[in-house]
Chains A and B, each alone.
Chain A
């Protein structure tokens, strides 16, 4: 921490003189005493830099130019720069806006990229909320995978095996999915409350149980697609499918609104309700909460029911939306684990999770186009996501890289990352 003389100000006084701070100084302080926003932005910067390095390394032209680096170093840099700009511009085109859609309409609607982003983001938001809400009560729910599978099974069963009138059918299927996920999550909460079994262990094991249960069901008539031997479920009947929001050409379903509604609900729960207050108190310090007269065991059960219900909605989003034509045993699509990174990036706050989900959704939608139009492997995006979350979870690392000072007041992120071993 070197002390610098402020360049513009007239007084050569030490830097921590409290009154009369100029705009530049205030900006600098805002940066140096990194708040959560600064830290997040810097984590993104780190992720982008690592991504750029990987794009360069993965680019065949750059690698071959590196072979004769001393003869013509310019080639290495120009090829590397092309790889980076091609990669990031393709990410942008896939995630937000493709300029081609202005000139031709070869199957590329203007809102296509945004719609893809939203479609990828929706289950991530719901899953991130599921992890995040458990998180605030001090529980680490790794079981979103299993809970969403149970949700998908229940939603699917109602969707293709029960005959109901149009709107009621969809609502019933959604409720079944929520119930399936909540039941599976509640089981973990009940085990924790009654026996003290660690939720990390029970959720991991229940993930396996749910997955193999689905494997079994996929070969049982009544669940399996008829007239086939494929391990694929029946297609969900038309009136139990989540309707498209913006026409059949854009893959945005009603589950986007459900996800936003769920975010609002979780926000209300955590910040405005008595239950949410006691959940947060349990998360902050369960002993103190118990001393204060709160029922910690009931809190565990309730929060896992809520978390599981949200995970069940992820299952609905898959079974009644993206995979309504019949789902196989990959219905979880790794969403259960991506949800953890989303919750971390969103710092377990509902609206932060929405933003984080949108961001990861955009990366996923961009990844597809980047893959198709450049030689950059899609793993680059996965590494970028991982790096960003790594830096978010370890703010001290970001501070030491960018030589920042300790934040004023505690950071919730680091507390979260440490609070998981209880």
Chain B
């Protein structure tokens, strides 16, 4: 707006400037109208009042939220963003599910452009007056710990990290259990005697799946005297393994998958978020001779067009855990300590077989139930070093 005070001649010569100034004047003039006249539809006045509350500053907005008895749940996302087809997205889905269940909960999120944003984001959520702040991703653990320590009266929750203080609720998932079942199923389903898994990056949330898968195959071999091979990962060699080095590069994923198929694998287990789609398109290219086991979410829902190539999915119930936390916190009782998602509490497991329901024999399905029971009761020990402690 520093344009306006410039003397006369300019205003005529520069149509653009005049246009901008006129627009600004028009905006300013109309800004006062709905408040004074009280006109307009109810929805618009409601929205304008809420945005003015946001403009007025955190004190006014937080006090109005407290007066209304509302519960504000805020989420700090990790890098990757809200639509990452992975943990950010599913964690946020838990927030929206909680709001659907209880409309008094208001929810919001902030993305992190890099790890340098973690602490400022958490601080911004605290001073905004959030009732609770949910941090997504184990990498944020240090930042959450420090901010929670400075604000002992505030409540925090963390996805994929253990509790780091009395006011921090930790949510972790032993997905090795679900992947163990997946490995058992893959070994039993494979006709070639070779199954393959590959990951996005060699980080624990990824390799824990690969460990579980590997162990499931070994367990199948031991129980049934078979020699099904796992390509791409060996739990005993944590530094090896096949990785796409990306959670988004579908072409890289397809390349790796094709290599494994050429080596004889007929069940693929990609643990690489969106890059895993490469395995699906490889399965499509091989005309369904190869099947894929999806990860994190039910692939027949998130990748519906590829459902006929998806044997089943190893799930991680992030959204359920977040929803449960937010709902419980909104009722006034903030959960403390740690949540550990297991087979027993459905924090992880196998999704429905969908198109493959007829191709997985009943005997195998009952074996899977037995194995699941064995894991849940502790009779079958999972040895993955990547399990949450």
A interface list, Cβ under 8 A from B: 2, 4, 6-7, 24, 27-28, 31, 41, 45, 49, 59-61, 64-65, 68, 72-75, 77-86, 89-90, 93-94, 98-100, 103-104, 106-108, 112, 116, 119-120, 215, 219, 228-232, 249, 251, 318, 322-323, 325-328, 330-331, 333-334, 365, 368-369, 371-375, 378, 401-403
Contact = CB atoms under 8 A, between A and B. Distances in A.
A89 B55 contact: yes
B344 interface: no
A373 B51 contact: no
B113 A378 contact: yes
Interface string B148-159: 001100100000
Interface stretch (B3-11, B321-329, B331-339, B359-367): B3-11
Given A79-B47, A100-B127, A365 B204 contact: no
A229 B34 contact: no
Contacts of A64: 43-44, 47
Contacts of A68: 41
Interface string B1-21: 011001111101110110010
B26 interface: yes
B21 to A, nearest CB: 11
Contacts of A251: 119-120
B255 interface: no
Given A93-B57, A98-B127, A229 B121 contact: no
B144 to A, nearest CB: 12
B238 A230 contact: no
A403 B31 contact: no
A391 to B, nearest CB: 13
Nearest to B153: A106
A98 B58 contact: yes
B242 interface: no
Nearest to A329: B201
Given A333-B116, A369-B124, A372-B121, A229 B385 contact: yes
B192 interface: no
B127 A74 contact: no
Given A82-B48, A98-B127, A100-B58, A77 B31 contact: yes
B16 A401 contact: yes
A232 B129 CA distance: 32
A372 B316 CA distance: 28
10 contacts: A4-B8, A4-B13, A28-B9, A89-B57, A98-B127, A327-B115, A330-B115, A371-B121, A373-B124, A378-B113
Interface string B203-223: 110010000000000000000
A325 B6 CA distance: 52
Contacts of A80: 27
A80 B51 CA distance: 10
A81 B150 contact: no
B203 A229 contact: yes
Nearest to A108: B127
A228 B142 contact: no
Contacts, number: 198
Given A7-B9, A374-B54, A328 B115 contact: yes
Nearest to B50: A61
B126 interface: yes
B379 interface: no
Contacts of B74: 372
B40 interface: yes
B264 interface: no
Chain B CB count within 10 A is highest, among A59, A334, A368, A378, for A368
B16 A84 contact: no
A331 B126 CA distance: 25
B234 interface: no
A56 to B, nearest CB: 9
B298 interface: no
B239 interface: yes
B34 A78 contact: yes
B39 A61 contact: no
A61 B16 CA distance: 27
B43 A368 contact: no
B28 interface: yes
B274 interface: no
Contacts of A369: 124
Nearest to A231: B203
B33 A74 contact: yes
Interface in B88-131: 108, 110-111, 113-117, 119-121, 123-129
A103 B29 CA distance: 31
Nearest to B45: A75
A229 B129 CA distance: 35
Contact of B126 (A72, A74, A107): A107
Contact of A4 (B9, B34, B51): B9
B31 A368 contact: no
Contact of B139 (A6, A232, A368): A232
A59 B51 contact: yes
A75 B203 contact: no
Given A7-B9, A372-B74, A378-B113, A231 B202 contact: yes
A149 B127 CA distance: 33
Contacts of A74: 30, 33-34, 39-40
Contact of A106 (B61, B127, B202, B245): B127
Contacts of B167: none
B123 A107 contact: yes
Which 4 residue pairs are nearest across A and B when measured between Cβ atoms? A61-B47, A333-B114, A77-B30, A86-B55
Contact of A230 (B51, B125, B204): B204
Contacts of A77: 26-27, 29-31
Nearest to A368: B120
Given A230-B204, A373-B128, 15 more contacts: A72-B44, A77-B29, A79-B47, A81-B31, A82-B52, A100-B58, A106-B151, A120-B120, A229-B238, A231-B201, A251-B120, A368-B110, A372-B108, A372-B124, A402-B16
B59 interface: yes
Nearest to B124: A372
A229 B47 contact: no
A60 B47 CA distance: 9
A27 B8 CA distance: 12
Given A74-B33, A78-B31, A231-B203, A219 B239 contact: yes
